[in-house]
Amino acid sequence: IANNKDAPLLRLADIAILLETPPELIAGSTRMGAGTAQKIALNMLSTLAAIHLGHVHDGYMVNLMADNIKLRDRAARIVAAISGRDRDDAARLLENSGGNVKTAILLAAGAAGADAAQ
């Protein structure tokens, strides 16, 4: 990924991505426009990779381990939304799955146990 069409990197890369950005408002401060453009591009690429790898279902990130309070709450909301179960049931399913969202969703769908769901 480069912001300058003459960058040697673009000729050397197997897959070259040129992000043409206007000159910086403050000369030499590439963190503004060019840096932001690269950050957005990398975020898009990592999101597309996550989707391609099956880490996303119906717009929800399902490839997460609920191993702290914040993630347990988020995971319970995701399991509830996808499975149609209430929040308490979703939390119980997550507990039975060791915090694995994908496994909890499969348990909600009728998998015989966490081992079978994995």
Q: Let me know: does 84 contact 110? Beta carbons within 8 Å.
A: no
Q: What is the pLDDT of residues 32-73, one digit of tens each?
A: 888 899 999 999 999 999 999 999 999 999 998 888 899 899
Question: What average pLDDT does the segment 93-109 reach?
Answer: 90
Both tokens of residue 35? 């840096």
Is residue 117 over pLDDT 80?
no
User: What DSSP assignment string belongs to the chain?
Assistant: -BSSTT-HHHHH-SS--B---PPPSSTT-TTTHHHHHHHHHHHHHHHHHHHHTT-EETTEE---B--SHHHHHHHHHHHHHHH---HHHHHHHHHHTTTBHHHHHHHHTT-SSHHHH-
